[in-house]
Amino acid sequence: MSLSPAIQPDDHAAYMRLALDLARKSPPKPTNFRVGAVVVDQSCNEILATGYTLELPGNTHAEQCCLLKLAEQHKVPEEHLKDVLPSQLALYTTVEPCSKRLSGNLPCAERVLRLAGPIRTVYVGIVEPDTFVSKNTGRLLLQDAGIQVIQIPGLESEIMEVATAGHRQVESQPSTEA
């Protein structure tokens, strides 16, 4: 069963907009970015999984949700997904995959690295800001493993606005006391 909306093959901007729409579903919190992700089989232009931050129980990231859903769908542990997935996958994610998780969970870049081969390209909307983890090396880790990382231009400000929605300080009201 295909999850694919009417997106033309290689319309990277449309897939990134879909990932951004998913990110909007994530609850805004001061302790995380709201991120959306989409896994696409490029050989047939089929969306295999979607995810967004905190979609699944626990402190889950968007990429993690995609891969956990795929593992459940194929009835294999996540670490064995490489054995059952098609060979021409792309991952679209609004924010560069993380290289470190403060929660102790496996970083998203490492999850993607387990799928090096099937995942050939990761398309990102923005690089990860230094808000939680300074100098994220997700992009470098993926590139060193032979996975292309390509930034899709045009949605940066909108992605950042959605990603950081829960980070905004509530402005204090001026005191009415004399």
The token pair that represents 51 in the structure block: 């995810």
Fill in the amino acid letter for 50.
T
Assess contact for 131 and 162: CB atoms under 8 A.
Answer: no
β-pair partners for 36: 52
The Cα–Cα gap between 143 and 56 comes to 28
For 5-155, where are the alpha helices, taking DSSP H only? 12-23, 62-74, 108-113, 138-144
The catalytic position among 63, 78, 96, 128 is 63
Is 72 a residue of the active site? no
Please identify every residue annotated as catalytic. 63
